Structure 1
């Protein structure tokens, strides 16, 4: 027998991560990735949608979505590129009342190279 009390031990709170700081770091990462890929205006909507889905997937379960979306809107500010404008529009549409489904989709798969692309003249 052991002298330990039965049941689960409480998690240590000294290393607890502040949820708002973690969400802000994730948002900064998403914004940085979108800005790095945001030079093609033809793909701006697709990249903005992917960034929105990545940000949405990184939100912890049970968090206040409205507060997180408003904080993200404040962080984005005035969009300086078409990609950030697409991301901002999706955030604003997700807060619109009454709620409605957003038109989100993955980009159409396409070949980006390979042997055929190397053989074809530019």
Structure 2
């Protein structure tokens, strides 16, 4: 039996995975298991995407805010942030964009093993 997963969700409205990683000002953090999900807390962050440039200090703050999560679900995420999350052992996913949060969390949990296996893959191999 798998333990629960802690997952951060970038959302504008609290209903759907609806925010771009770089524009997020708030992440809803959930514990997810086979029985469902539970909101743990909401974490405020400074958005780091500044329209063509980025605030690396803000990115460091986001990485710290989601450090206890195994995945971050977003509407969209670039390669740079995806790699920064991966280095921290966190899966960055845009796969569930615009899905209702509960549905997205259930889909993530159902595919969790594959997501974590992909995270562990060495791209140089």
TM range (shorter): under 0.3
Larger Rg: 1
Give the TM-score normalised by structure 2: 0.27
Give the TM-score normalised by structure 1: 0.28
More helix by percentage: 1
